[in-house]
Amino acid sequence: MAVNESEDHHPHILIFPFMAHGHMIPLVDLAILLSQRGLTVTIVSTPFNIARIRPTIDGLICSGCDVRVIELPFPCKECGLPENCENFDMITSHDVAARFMLATRSLKEQFEKVMPQILPNCVISDFLLSWTSEVAHNFNIPRICFSVTCNFSSVLRFCLNMHKPQDGVSTAHEPFLVPGLPDKVELTKSQLPDAFAYRECEEKEQMLLFSKEVANAEEESDGIIVNSFYELEPSYVDCYKNTTGKPVFSVGPLFLCHEKRGERGKKSSIREEECLDWLGPKKERSVLYISFGSISFLSRKQMEEIKMGLKKLGCFFIWAVKELDDLQFIDSLEEETRDKGMIIRGWAPQAVILSHPSIGAFLTHCGWNSTIEAISFGVPMLTWPLFAEQHLNEKLVVQILGIGVKVGSDVISMALGEEDAVQVVKREAIVEAVQRVMGPGGEGERLRERARKVGDTARKAVEEQGGSSSLNVDYFIDFVNGRRLTVPASIP
């Protein structure tokens, strides 16, 4: 491991996120966390994405943190992508999605050229940017793989790659047991991450190779950082370390770093003010929050089923919709539910919403950023996974932690240009699930109590004095400085 001795106590960390909103958020939060510890941090990305995070970076610099940025032009046109398509949130079809993923390789040559200018003590890059591993090691610099999901789902991916139990079933909906886990977990091929079930497209063979490169680079990495905390999934943290043979640093929930900066709870935008004003007079645990993340589109049929379910429930709700969703439908939805609902078009201040006492449940796609935020604020979940590893995250929430109820989506679907072919969850299933979670007594009360306890452990994990995630940050800094080559198997 190469270490710049002159920076022994203040290492320089280079962070390279994959260009998607849900991947960039936790890595920018990690940059904040490390800069708060006195480390120098350089974030590498494309011009569009640097512009997105620039206000946050400028705020860090103003507070005395040493955070730098480097822009690498993204060759959209040369890679067959629409002009200025620099973020995965802009993807509109499976073919374009595949081309975007493959196009990230084109940044390798530029990255190689800037490395001599930086020579960081360590490279932390998104697990999807597998080629950064080769570049870092060519300069004798350790590369740490950043996992954008939990230890549980990462272990499942590793076991699926290693044991391939999915090859032993004949249909997409036949359940199989995932070997090598602390718990009995069953999946179907229809629920597997896209890496194991890429759709037919011109780039399918290249995408299968891309997936192998990602898996190989993870195995070759010098360590893994996870946006989770030990107490949430202790047996899977230990399992991840044992199966990979790598040091695993669980340093989350990363978004809570904003509280240390005094940001959480402030009315820092008009939209936050609007949300807080709307939520203010509502009774405790009386509001359902709905969001399917920044990428997924829902079909008109599906949105209609959700609307009719909400009408039947009669509960208060906040629904965050994409700006590119069916505008005509959104206009009518807003008009028809004005007395009960608040529709947010585009960006929603999710942490502000979830932290409010009037929120009773979260109808979510189980993206890990959304999941860890709900966990941290003790909000029970209605799980509706759509793509990537979201069905794996659902297993953690519903089966392992017992803080959520499944709504009914059983298949992978990115819903890109084929919304009408996607499984439609009926209003009756939506109503039943919401009533189970938000209803008085019984199952709902047990879910709320379990969620509250898990939320308490999340906040304790990031406490500076003795919190398991804070200790893991210390271990990581020691690891980079060459003073510690292993991480304790467990943290009490």
- Name the β-bridge partners of 68: 42
Q: 135-159: per-residue pLDDT in tens?
A: 999 999 999 999 999 999 999 999 9
Q: Is 173 a catalytic residue?
A: no
Q: Kindly tell me the sign of the dihedral angle through the C-alpha atoms of 378, 379, 384, 387.
A: negative
Backbone angles phi, psi at 85, to 5 degrees: -85, 80
Q: What percent of the chain has pLDDT over 90?
A: 66
User: Residue 126: which region, alpha, beta or left (left: phi > 0; alpha: psi -120 to 50)?
Assistant: beta
CB 409 within 8 A of CB 305: no
Which entry of 12, 21, 126, 365 is annotated as an active-site residue? 126
- Nearest-angstrom CA–CA distance, 410 and 183: 20
pLDDT at 131 over 90: yes
Beta strands 186-187; 176-177: pairing state: antiparallel
- Residue 264 has a pLDDT of 45
- Residue 409 has a pLDDT of 76
| CATH of the domain spanning 5-252+462-480, picked from 3.40.50.300, 3.40.50.2000, 3.30.465.10, 3.40.50.720 | 3.40.50.2000
- Nearest-angstrom CA–CA distance, 176 and 487: 33
Q: What percent of the chain has pLDDT over 70?
A: 89
- Nearest-angstrom CA–CA distance, 243 and 158: 8
pLDDT at 383 over 50: yes
Average pLDDT over residues 415-443: 81
- Nearest-angstrom CA–CA distance, 23 and 42: 16
- Closest C-alpha to 451, from 399, 384, 377: 377
CATH class (in words) of the domain with range 267-458: alpha beta
Average pLDDT over residues 340-352: 93
Backbone angles phi, psi at 13, to 5 degrees: -110, 130
- Residue 3 has a pLDDT of 39
- Nearest-angstrom CA–CA distance, 45 and 51: 10
pTM recorded for the entire structure: 0.92
- List the single range of 192-196, 311-315, 476-480 with lowest mean pLDDT: 192-196
For the stretch 30-63, what's the b/e string if a residue is b when 16 or more beta carbons lie within 10 angstroms of its beta carbon?
bbbbbbbeebbbbbbbbebbbebbeebbeebeee
Query: Token pair of 103, please?
Result: 């196009």
Average pLDDT over residues 203-216: 84
| Per-residue confidence band for 1, with pLDDT thresholds at 50, 70 and 90 | very low
Q: Is 126 a catalytic residue?
A: yes
Q: 6-34: per-residue pLDDT in tens?
A: 444 578 999 999 999 999 999 999 999 99
Q: Kindly tell me the sign of the dihedral angle through the C-alpha atoms of 169, 175, 181, 182.
A: negative
Higher pLDDT, 184 or 418: 184
CB 190 within 8 A of CB 213: no
Q: How many other CB atoms are found less than 10 A from the CB of residue 441?
A: 7
Q: 114-128: per-residue pLDDT in tens?
A: 999 888 999 999 999
Which entry of 21, 23, 365, 391 is annotated as an active-site residue? 23
Q: 242-299: per-residue pLDDT in tens?
A: 999 999 999 999 999 877 655 544 445 888 999 999 999 999 999 999 999 877 778 8
- Nearest-angstrom CA–CA distance, 31 and 394: 28
Higher pLDDT, 128 or 419: 128
Backbone angles phi, psi at 283, to 5 degrees: -70, 155
What residues does CATH 3.40.50.2000 cover in the chain?
Answer: 5-252+462-480, 267-458
